[in-house]
Amino acid sequence: MQRNVLAWMLAIVTMMMSCTAAEVNKFIQGATEASLSEGEVSNGLKEALEKGIDTGVGIASKQDGYLGNDLIRIGLPEDVRKVENTLRKIGLGGEVDKVITTINRGAEDAAKEAKPIFISAIKQMTIQDAWTILKGEDDAATQYLQRTTTDQLVELFRPHVQKSLDNVGATRYYGDLVSSYNNFPTTSKKLDPDLNNYVTQRAIEGLFKLIAEEEEAIRENPMERTSSLLKRVFAAQD
């Protein structure tokens, strides 16, 4: 009997030694995944996304959330940026600064409107979506949100951004700036006075950047996993 047990153990050891490191890792990963239920994976990913959204929207919607954050600060539109030095040389530096400040204020004011759309997308996440996100890149969950919410966000943000830009005076400041430049005698190429689409796109891009940062932190830093479910789900991928 003892000889049979020893022979069996030797066979197991021999088999394991013959496996490549990749095969062993695959076996371990499969065992880990098997220990997570579909519900745990789905709920864990949803919780992680909600945490990222709460953090991202919370940061962006505060005063200086955009303006004071180099990662998402909204600068001048590209065609205006190309002539910024000229604008300052002809005495429009103050107007340039006002435009930059007020378009960021408009984005900050509109950012809080994004949360319901994000939450709706999370509720529609399938089990397959959850597994794909869990095994994906550091920003896989953010990419999921981008795919499923961008069109809705643009549609929602545009009127809110316009209202916010009007409320903080950005539309007027930008219109005055563009008008002054376009009417200057040496101007050969006129600037586009439409500010809304530009700020809408940049504001949404900024939100996704903040959410991606939070997602990466949860994946990479166990201290950011603030619940037992987050710890269990993401520990399986460490």
Packing angle between helix 170-182 and helix 140-168, nearest 10 degrees?
80
List pLDDT tens digits, range 141-196: 999 999 999 998 998 888 888 888 888 777 787 777 777 777 777 676 777 667 88
DSSP letter for each residue of 7-21: HHHHHHHHHHHHS-H
Tell me how far apart the alpha carbons of residues 108 and 100 are, in angstroms, rounded to a whole number: 13
**This prediction's pTM:** 0.75
List pLDDT tens digits, range 194-207: 788 888 999 999 99
List pLDDT tens digits, range 26-66: 333 443 444 778 888 888 888 888 999 999 999 999 999 99
pLDDT tops 80 at residue 21: no
List pLDDT tens digits, range 100-124: 898 899 899 889 888 998 999 888 8
**Which pLDDT score, from 0 to 100, does residue 204 have?**
94
Q: How confident is the model at residue 4 (pLDDT cuts 50, 70, 90)?
A: very low
**Which pLDDT score, from 0 to 100, does residue 30 have?**
42
- C-alpha count within 13 angstroms, C-beta hemisphere, residue 52: 31
- C-alpha count within 13 angstroms, C-beta hemisphere, residue 37: 4
**Which pLDDT score, from 0 to 100, does residue 78 have?**
81
DSSP letter for each residue of 76-124: --HHHHTTHHHHHHTT-HHHHHHHHHHHHHHHHHHHGGGHHHHHHHHHT
The residue ranking higher by pLDDT, 22 or 171, is 171
**Which pLDDT score, from 0 to 100, does residue 228 have?**
83
Q: How confident is the model at residue 210 (pLDDT cuts 50, 70, 90)?
A: very high
pLDDT tops 90 at residue 67: yes
Find the range with the poorest average confidence among 7-11, 78-82, 161-165, 199-203: 7-11
**Which pLDDT score, from 0 to 100, does residue 188 have?**
65
Mean pLDDT for the chain? 79
pLDDT tops 80 at residue 72: yes
Q: How confident is the model at residue 74 (pLDDT cuts 50, 70, 90)?
A: very high
**Which pLDDT score, from 0 to 100, does residue 24 have?**
34
**Which pLDDT score, from 0 to 100, does residue 213 have?**
93
CA of residue 236 relative to chain centroid, distance: 23
